[in-house]
Amino acid sequence: MTVDGSKNAALPLLAAAAALRRPVQLPNVPANADVQAMLMLLQQAGHGITYPVGKSNTALILPSDGMHVARDFHDTAARIRASYYLVPALLAVHGRAVLPWPGGCRIGERGMEQHFKVYEAFGDRTIVNTHGYGVEAVKSRTGSVSVMLPFRSRGASIAAILRAVVAERPLRLGQPNLSPEVTSVLQALQAAGWETHADARIGGRRVAVTAVIGTQAFHSIPVNQRASHRVTEPDQALRELLLAHHHEVDSWVVLSHSGFDEDLKLAAVCPFLDVIFAGHCLIDQYGPIHVGETLVLKGHELGAGYALAEPSSNRWAAHTAPFPSVSEAAPPPQLSSIHEQIEDLRDRLALPLGVIAEPYRGQPLNRRLLLSDLATRLHTGLGSDAVILNETALRPTQLGDVLIIGDLLTIEPFNNQLVHARIPDTLRDAPDALLGHLTESAGPLVTGPTSLPPELPTVLTTDYLAESYLDGRTHQAGLRLRQAIQRILTEGTHR
């Protein structure tokens, strides 16, 4: 099993390791207070915890020795809400689990009643009082267990999965929570030899929902966070999924972070897809667009709207729409303070920064023109060998006569810093290859001067390009891209 380094992922995986009743090694366990409390609970329940030499963040969980639970177990369990994950492991070894209410809550709060219904479905008996609850494994049954959750509770989903592991009985779980914490437990169980299948139905159809990220979007992730990841092109990965699971699925829906144009291409080469919800888009194109039988669409950005798709009689139907305007009715009293904060933020976003200069005033923003003006000014004003900026650093919007803070944040929401960056040695004397490398990864570029010099050891660019595709920064330029954009828009080109 492998933990992704987060507390929320580590806690259920530690409980799963205990429920398997075999030695389990967990790499990447975070040094978090709740995680340390969970490790202490495992020890107090009789499990051995060891750490391999030289691997301080790797824990080896050994099966419980079956002795009595330590007296201070209850006090430790009261410190963390996630203690309820340990019920199945305690039932496996001791036949009963007695725990305090998680985080001090009582029955009816935080969904604990759903946990009890899960255990009762396995024939267990539950007991509650003001101090906590108990679960006893009363009957030893065989055969499959079916549980339908009234809502997608993460805790109850994990409770049902681990209880099935301990009981060694097949489980059919309706309305499961499929958050990363739950799917990481399922993946760990698969690695341990268990078979798991997720079956989601929409309109009576078995629908596979798969997320993909395009190559350009992947490379925008900081290098240290994507190191050692294996990259597969989205179309190839989707075909592999189709071959492996076509007999289990009636419809395929993809959540994409590739860009609208890339998603149109993806639909063309993967005609088995029914719907692609597009993301990572910087264009005013929302769809739905038919590519063969596949629908491609996206919701209006910045929380302004949504996209919806649903199965019809013989295919899928879809539409996009903006969210309705906010009601003028007074908010409920309990939301009044939040409403005041929203109104204050609205006022701050409307603060003027200056009159917009020609040729930008009253026009949809021309990103290429604006970046070309900026590259020229930066090249001459800062004396850099060259300036390289990517068009996708800015977002298009309609401009009026006056630039306001909200406009500027819409145009440049990424808070990029302008920096001087090192060019990789292999590209320093190959400007065409450098531009090809950056264009393939980051999209259309603007340069100053238009023709780059034949040798280019450094370049003025954004910290995003410097850290993602070049050899890092040498030093900052003392100016953020957003500040430079503001000056061009309000002072004009030739100041």
3-state secondary structure string across 418-450: EEEEECCHHHCCCHHHHHHHHHHHHCCEEEECC
CATH number belonging to domain 205-322: 3.60.21.10
- Do 480 and 415 form a contact (C-beta atoms < 8 A)? yes
Nearest by Cα to 34 from 80, 70, 100, 87: 80
- Do 357 and 428 form a contact (C-beta atoms < 8 A)? no
Whether the pLDDT of residue 104 is over 50: the answer is no
- Do 92 and 76 form a contact (C-beta atoms < 8 A)? no
* CA 335 to the chain's CA centroid: 28
Quick one: pLDDT at residue 384? 86
Pairing mode of beta strands 205-213, 251-257: parallel
- Do 362 and 330 form a contact (C-beta atoms < 8 A)? no
Residue 445: which pLDDT band, with cuts at 50, 70 and 90?
very high
Whether the pLDDT of residue 201 is over 80: the answer is no
Residue 452: which pLDDT band, with cuts at 50, 70 and 90?
very high
* Alpha carbons 161 and 178: distance in angstroms, whole number: 12
- DSSP string computed for 209-236: EEEEE-HHHHHTS-HHHHTTPPP--HHH
Phi-psi map region of 401: left, alpha, beta (phi>0 left; psi -120 to 50 alpha): alpha
Whether the pLDDT of residue 411 is over 50: the answer is yes
What are the tokens at 358?
């020609």
What is the CB neighbour count within 10 angstroms for residue 174? 13
Whether the pLDDT of residue 109 is over 60: the answer is no
3-state secondary structure of 121: helix
Angstrom distances, CA of residue 146 to CA of 96, 174, 207: 22, 8, 21
CATH topology of domain 352-491: 5'-nucleotidase;  domain 2 (3.90.780)
Report percent pLDDT > 90 for the chain.
53
Residues of the chain with CATH 3.90.780.10: 352-491
Q: What is the DSSP letter of 250?
A: S
pLDDT tens for each residue of 302-330: 677 889 999 987 789 999 988 877 666 67
3-state helix, strand, coil in the chain (%, to 5): 40, 20, 40
Quick one: pLDDT at residue 381? 86
Residues of the chain with CATH 3.65.10.10: 7-195
- What backbone phi and psi angles, to 5 degrees, belong to 173? -110, 115
- The mean-pLDDT minimum among 34-43, 89-98, 119-128, 210-219 falls in 210-219
Residues of the chain with CATH 3.60.21.10: 205-322
3-state secondary structure of 490: helix
Report the DSSP beta bridge partners of residue 479: 418
- Do 23 and 47 form a contact (C-beta atoms < 8 A)? no
- What backbone phi and psi angles, to 5 degrees, belong to 311? -70, 135
Residue 103: which pLDDT band, with cuts at 50, 70 and 90?
low
- Do 422 and 450 form a contact (C-beta atoms < 8 A)? no
CATH topology of domain 7-195: UDP-n-acetylglucosamine1-carboxyvinyl-transferase; Chain (3.65.10)
Quick one: pLDDT at residue 107? 42
What is the CB neighbour count within 10 angstroms for residue 182? 21
Contacts of 76 (CB under 8 A, 6+ apart): 37, 40, 41, 44, 83
Quick one: pLDDT at residue 108? 43
Whether the pLDDT of residue 105 is over 60: the answer is no
406 burial level (CB within 10 Å; 0-12, 13-18, 19+): middle
Quick one: pLDDT at residue 493? 60
Task: State the average pLDDT over residues 193-214.
Answer: 82
Nearest by Cα to 45 from 2, 100, 104, 87: 87
Residue 423: which pLDDT band, with cuts at 50, 70 and 90?
very high
- Name the residue type at position 40: M
Pairing mode of beta strands 145-148, 171-174: parallel
Mean pLDDT of the chain: 88
* Alpha carbons 388 and 431: distance in angstroms, whole number: 11
Most confidently modeled range among 29-38, 172-181, 399-408: 399-408
Q: Which of the pair, 427 or 331, is modelled with greater confidence? A: 427
What is the CB neighbour count within 10 angstroms for residue 286? 21
Residue 67: which pLDDT band, with cuts at 50, 70 and 90?
confident
* Alpha carbons 78 and 82: distance in angstroms, whole number: 9
330 burial level (CB within 10 Å; 0-12, 13-18, 19+): exposed
Instruction: Give the gyration radius of the chain's Cα atoms.
Output: 28
What is the CB neighbour count within 10 angstroms for residue 336? 11
Contacts of 228 (CB under 8 A, 6+ apart): none
* Alpha carbons 404 and 128: distance in angstroms, whole number: 58
Whether the pLDDT of residue 494 is over 60: the answer is no
What are the tokens at 2?
């492998």
Residue 446: which pLDDT band, with cuts at 50, 70 and 90?
very high
Q: Which of the pair, 173 or 54, is modelled with greater confidence? A: 173
* Alpha carbons 140 and 312: distance in angstroms, whole number: 45
Task: State the average pLDDT over residues 264-268.
Answer: 95
348 burial level (CB within 10 Å; 0-12, 13-18, 19+): exposed
Quick one: pLDDT at residue 163? 95
Quick one: pLDDT at residue 121? 93
* Alpha carbons 397 and 394: distance in angstroms, whole number: 9
pLDDT tens for each residue of 462-490: 999 998 889 989 999 989 999 999 999 99
